[in-house]
Structure 1
């Protein structure tokens, strides 16, 4: 069996202290295979973006968390030890946050300089190649950010991530600020880059249609905990966890006659300051019983290569 490129074990992220301590990500574990596109979905506030930033060390995870890149533990490394590994792990953000005073080519040159790549006469051709690879023209390298459209800015953000020649990219809601037609172009760009470069991606999104189209497997997150992990086709054809069922049932579809049966959730989402005991979804779950409050259900292997965190999975499916 192929060793995973990324292995996350018991990843926990907390903010604040004392009574104000919030555990945003709670004991998350999953693997990402080389060349895989793994989707991460869940409601706003479920901890998706925090998880993505923590696993590439943009924010600090709690003690006991483990993230391995190709077998090497990242969590215990100092900033100096982590610096050479930054090339291998990059992030594409929802907002590319481009420096308004810096030309596009200079942004890419800065990344190349930081990592000591393509020095001297090779730098210009490499910048032109990066621009073309993401669907921009080489002459666009002389433009400032205000001269680009929203879709072009996102393409430049992707080029900036690719400049480091990474093995793993976290794409955090890279489509949410774009028009539908532009979203489709960026999705097709990501598919093409994956094929050409063999990239491994964690794709964070609230758009289930895009996740279904782009991703090989999907991780479903609720209040910082993983509810289900499944191959994409299996998850969308037959969601196993009650929360996954509710999430898919709430998604808009073009033909209402093909809608999944409505799933009625109880109450409002709980506060992360005071999450329910046991299964964090139990306070809204239509199938919850008293035993669901006693302990946290583990991610249990089931059919179709999926994992489900539900005490009643066997009797409900």
Structure 2
């Protein structure tokens, strides 16, 4: 497998909830690829389908249509022992560290459960040594194995969640908004931990977040979602320096600025995000887009490459004028 070959490839992924004529279109025809060692950021407003994509990629929920390929094979066709072995290669760090750990189990038992399920240790001594190693890897102490989840802070619990994901030595991790339930004062610790582990263990990650500053720091490329559809895809440097889709521009303009005296370019969005039960025709963003034209209601814009590695889904090619370049302050 070369560095250019995707480890994970998503093709035409759809996930609808409910049956009948009006299902909830949580994810609607999404495609992207993640190369080995790459961290891909998935951003968008609440309700855009970010977490659903992460869980569907891991088969924690089943897809409605499309394919998810792991090393070129469709994991939707895996079953039995083959699927169980796949679980050790693909892991998740959940959003809420308070809800994702069993309050009745000690930390050693939580980590040991993953090891036992996948047969990754031989004997109690090897198991305990591996648990101690995992705790030290995420900045905790071996003696913490005897404690219960309620004896830890939120940041420490999230470190335990990271350790649990690492226990089975995965190749790919979905980090599903791992910072959103944490105090701002300890978010930086978890960010630095993930960055360090990514480099040290050569992890491939799908990092789901609404915090654009964290995405800019941690991710190699970014996929921008709106109402279950991809609006723009680019390298992190390119996306933040030259956002070309009106929705991406609005997201960056709404991001808090560290300097209150820095001039800010506001991008006005009208109304609220529509319901995924009845998304707008054509471009799903058109009802809030300041640049929408009549054609936007009639045609679903394809994802078109506008420069090497930079794709966007928008009919307004005139918005790509050089004057629009440069990161929104």
TM-score grouping bracket, smaller chain normalisation: over 0.9
In the alignment, does 2:155 pair up with 1:146?
no
Task: Give the drift of 1:152.
Answer: 0.5
* 1:290 alignment partner in structure 2: 294
Q: Name the CA distance, whole Å, in 1 between partners of 2:301 and 2:81.
A: 38
- Asked if 1:81 is matched to 2:85, the reply is no
**Equivalent in the alignment of 2:19:** 17
In the alignment, what sits opposite 1:171? 175
Which of 110, 125, 144 is the aligned partner of 1:107?
Answer: 110
Q: Aligned partners of 1:118, 1:46: CA distance in 2, in Å? A: 40
SS in 1 for 2:77: coil
Cα deviation for residue 273 of structure 1 reads 1.1
Q: Residues 116-195 of structure 1 correspond to what in structure 2 (within 5 A)?
A: 116-120=119-123, 121-195=125-199
* Bigger mean CA offset, 148-157 vs 262-271: 262-271
Superposed CA RMSD in Å reads 1.3
* Structure 1: 4+ residue segments shifted above 6 A: none
Taking a change above 3 Å as real, the CA distance of residues 117 and 259 of structure 1, as seen in their structure-2 partners, is: farther
1:92 matched to which residue of 2? 93
Classify the secondary structure of the residue corresponding to 2:88.
helix
Corresponding residue of 1:60: 62
Which residue pairs with 2:213 in the alignment?
209
Where 2:55 maps in the other structure, the secondary structure is helix
Cα distance in 1, alignment partners of residues 240 and 264 from structure 2: 10
Deviation at 1:146, TM superposition (A): 1.0
TM-score by length of 1: 0.96
Q: 1:186-216, CA deviations, whole angstroms, 9 ceiling, x for partnerless residues? A: 0000011011110000000111111111111
Aligned match of 1:256? 260
Contact 2:106 2:148 in 1 (8 A): yes
Residues 170, 203 of structure 1: 8 Å contact kept? yes
Query: C-alpha distance in 1, partners of 2:287/2:81?
Result: 44
Q: Residues 79 and 311 of structure 1: is their aligned pair in 2 closer, same or farther, counting only changes over 3 Å?
A: farther
Q: TM-score, structure 2 length as denominator?
A: 0.93
Show the counterpart of 2:233.
229
Aligned match of 1:70: 71
* Kept after mapping to 2: 8 A contact 1:15/1:21: yes
Give the drift of 1:108.
Answer: 0.8
| 1:95 positional shift | 1.3
Contact 1:131 / 1:156 at 8 angstroms: preserved in 2? yes
Decide whether aligned partners of structure 1 residues 233 and 260 sit closer, same or farther in structure 2, where only a CA change above 3 A counts: farther
| Residues 1:309 and 2:308 aligned together | no
1:99 Cα deviation after fit: 1.1
1:242 correspondence with 2:243: no
Gaps of 5+ in 1: none
Question: Measured at CA, do residues 259 and 48 of structure 1 come closer, stay the same or move farther in structure 2, by a change above 3 Å?
Answer: farther
Equivalent residues, number: 316
Distance 1:122 1:259, change over 3 A: farther
Partner of 2:326 in structure 1? none
Is the Cα–Cα contact under 8 Å of residues 174 and 206 in structure 2 kept in the other structure?
A: yes
